[in-house]
Structures are given as C-alpha cells and as structure tokens.
Amino acid sequence: MSIIDKFRLDGKSAFVTGGARGIGKSVATAFAEAGADVAIVDVDIATAEATAAEIAAATGRRMTAIACDVTDPEQVDRMVDEVVKTYGKLDVAFCNAGICINEAAENMTYAQWSKVININLTGVFLTAQAAGRQMLRQGGGSIINTASMSAHIVNVPQPQCAYNASKAGVIQLTKSMAVEWAARNVRVNCISPGYIGTDLTLSSPSLVPLIEQWNQMSPIHRLGKPEELQAICVYLASDASPFTTGGDFVVDGAFTCF
C-alpha cells in the first residue's frame, strides 16, 4: 500500500460531535472526501440533517444525522449504538463538541462553570469512553479529541478560565486513555487549534472586536480556517498513523511559540 493509499478512509465509519457546523462540519467533510461514512452528531438536529445531506450530495458517502447531548451518558451510548447499527462498526470518533463562556473568574457563576466543564471535558470523556468501548470490542480504532491552544496559554484580553481549564483537562484525558488502550490498538490523540475563523466566530458581536487584537498577537497575523484542521484529522483517523497515540497536535499559526 502506498503512503497516499494509507491516508484513505475507504471502508471506515466515523462520528463527529458538534458536526453540524464549524470545525466539526469541516472535518466531517474531510472524512467523507477521504472515503469514510460519517454520522453528524449535534444537539441541533435540523442543522445536522442539513449538513449530512450537503456532504452526502458532494461526496457520495453515506451520511446520517444523530441528535445527542454529549453530557448525557445514556444519549451518548445510544448515539454510538446507532452509528454501529447504521454502519456495522465504528472506526473513528472525533469528539469535538464544545462551548466557551467569557466571564471574569470573580464573576463566573457555578452554572456557567459547570456548563463549560460538562460539555468540553465531561462530554469528551463520555463520547471517547463510549467510542473506546466499541473499538476495544472490535479490536481497534482511532479517537480524536478537540482540545485547544487555550490548554497551553492564558488567552487575552478575554477572560475564559473555565474554557482554558476544560481544554487542559482534555489533553491529560487524551494521554491517559491513550496509555490505557495502546496495547489494544485503540489510538487516542487530540488537536489543539488556535483561533479559527468559523462562521459563528466571525459573526459574533462579542468576538469581532477582539479579532484584530488576536491577529496582531499572532505571528501569522490572521485567524486559522476550519479546513486547515482537516489534514491532521484525516492523518490521525487513517492507517498512516499506527504509531501515533497520546499526541497533542497544536495547529495555531505559531501563536503559542512565544
């Protein structure tokens, strides 16, 4: 098999949480373009269905949309069961759903803190755990978690202590699962994106004034694009990366280098 062939995902099935839009949609598109059948998992089922239909029309792959709250263990288990029932197996899990609440630490409420931690960290644990259980039964698979450059630095000027803490937790969770499952052929890695210009980011009234400051601080002087995360995720999902597990891949335009 050539190195190019190893990057193909033909015959593989995947799910992407937070897949209806943004980074999730972009990576789901890349998985499908590489040959995988993909489940778009999101709390917004209407947008997930539209995304699944759009990607299916563009790639010819089998796509499905599944409604799931990643903080609910029963919903997560049902989601994985549905993926396996639909596609026969689960080869790739992109545990990507997340939120950010910008609030000063002294003013952040317990409800705000809990919401961020529950979605960003507990949600990743539950989806990776459920995927891992299925992959262990099958004899292998690849799990990719979305962390952030915010796990490595404290972002400014916006206050986001809960987000930073949750994403740092994702990295250590990823490493822990990778060590536990390495000998059983289940690989677990994470990506740490920098500032990415999704539609929501670019249209958010609270974030638009910050973008120019972020760009001035960045060595590359611009936001990343969702499609600039596709290649690393396809690599991690594919047979080109059998020795790659427990890794945290920073894709941030050198933002965290100083």
Q: Is 167 a catalytic residue?
A: yes
CA 186 to chain centre: 17
The residues, ordered by sequence, that sit 6+ positions from 85 with a Cβ below 8 Å of its Cβ are: none
Q: Fill in the amino acid letter for 113.
A: W
**Of these residues, 26, 148, 166, 192, which one is catalytic?**
148
Nearest Cα neighbor of 225 from 247, 198, 258 is 198
**Of these residues, 25, 87, 166, 167, which one is catalytic?**
167
Spatial distance between the Cα atoms of 34 and 215, rounded to a whole number of angstroms:
32
Spatial distance between the Cα atoms of 162 and 154, rounded to a whole number of angstroms:
11
| Number of Cα atoms under 13 Å in the Cβ half of residue 238 | 23
Spatial distance between the Cα atoms of 82 and 198, rounded to a whole number of angstroms:
29
Q: Provide DSSP, 104-135.
A: -TTT--HHHHHHHHIIIIIHHHHHHHHHHHHH
For 200, the 3-state DSSP assignment is helix
| Number of Cα atoms under 13 Å in the Cβ half of residue 214 | 24
Q: Is 148 a catalytic residue?
A: yes
Q: Is 235 a catalytic residue?
A: no
Active-site residue list:
148, 163, 167
